[in-house]
Amino acid sequence: EKMQNFYDVLLRRFVAVGDAVFNSGSGGPDLERYEQLNSLTKTLYAMSQDSPECAGSVWNRRLGIFQQAVAKRLRDVEVNSLGDACEGEFSAWPSTGMLLLMRALPHIFPSTDRRHAVVTPALLLLGQILAQTPVKTRCDVTKGLFCAALMMEYTKGAKRFPPEATAFLASALRLYADDVESVLGTSPLPSLSNATNCSQLMDLREDLSELSNVTDD
């Protein structure tokens, strides 16, 4: 039990450092947060090799907590005004620290198995996030693309197809279609169905259009 508690402390520390990287960067030579993340990943991997059942149990518990947090944020999004997470306002998307921990996961456990006690639940959680979390800001798009890339990384070794990831990528590309309102209305994912009402995303569309015109000239 002590090992499980210590392992969970490491997971929570990883998330905290990841969030600090998002908010304040590496922190200079005194903190070296990127190096902290590398060291934590190596420690988590070593402990997982020594006691895979213990590590798997802690990961499953932590993934359950993440899933509950995602569900709560999806409920809260209905009563909170959505802002840009990059500006410190409310967003339904998970924190950077959590996403970085999910990025470390396939380096700790094998992702080539068709079914895995930890990787499979993590994959399902990423799919839920992509499918259900509304995209309102540029920061949300960035996190969505990151989640899509994670799903592809998780499934690449097992030669599996992540439909939520490809659907999100297709919907993101639809933001720049000529008839954006009609094509997003047929998007398979509700997360991007109302993107035309979000000024940040439409501003991004205009910025890229202007950049394309400059390149053509």
Contact 109, 119 (CB under 8 A): yes
What is residue 86's predicted lDDT score, i.e. its pLDDT? 44
DSSP string covering 3-23: HHHHHHHHHHHHHHHHHHHHH
Give pLDDT, residue 87.
43
Among residues 119, 138, 136, 117, the alpha carbon closest in space to that of 127 is found at 119
What count of other Cβ atoms lies within 10 Å of the Cβ of residue 168?
28
Report the residue count for the chain: 217
What totals of helices (H) and strands (E) does the chain contain, helices first? 9, 0
Question: Do 48 and 107 form a contact (C-beta atoms < 8 A)?
Answer: no
**Torsion over CA: 109, 142, 197, 210 (sign):** negative
Distance CA 143, CA 212 (A): 24
- pTM of this prediction? 0.84
Q: Which domain holds residue 92?
A: 2-216
3-state secondary structure 92-127: CCCCHHHHHHHHHHHHCCCCCCCCCCCHHHHHHHHH
Domain count, the chain: 1
**How many C-beta atoms lie closer than 10 Å to residue 142's C-beta?**
15
Q: One digit per residue, pLDDT tens: the chain, 217 residues?
A: 789 999 999 999 999 999 999 999 998 888 899 999 999 999 999 999 999 999 999 999 999 999 999 999 988 877 665 444 444 456 889 999 999 999 999 999 988 877 889 999 999 999 999 999 988 888 888 999 999 999 999 998 878 889 999 989 888 887 777 776 666 666 666 666 666 667 777 777 676 666 666 555 5
In this predicted structure, what is the pLDDT of residue 138?
Answer: 83
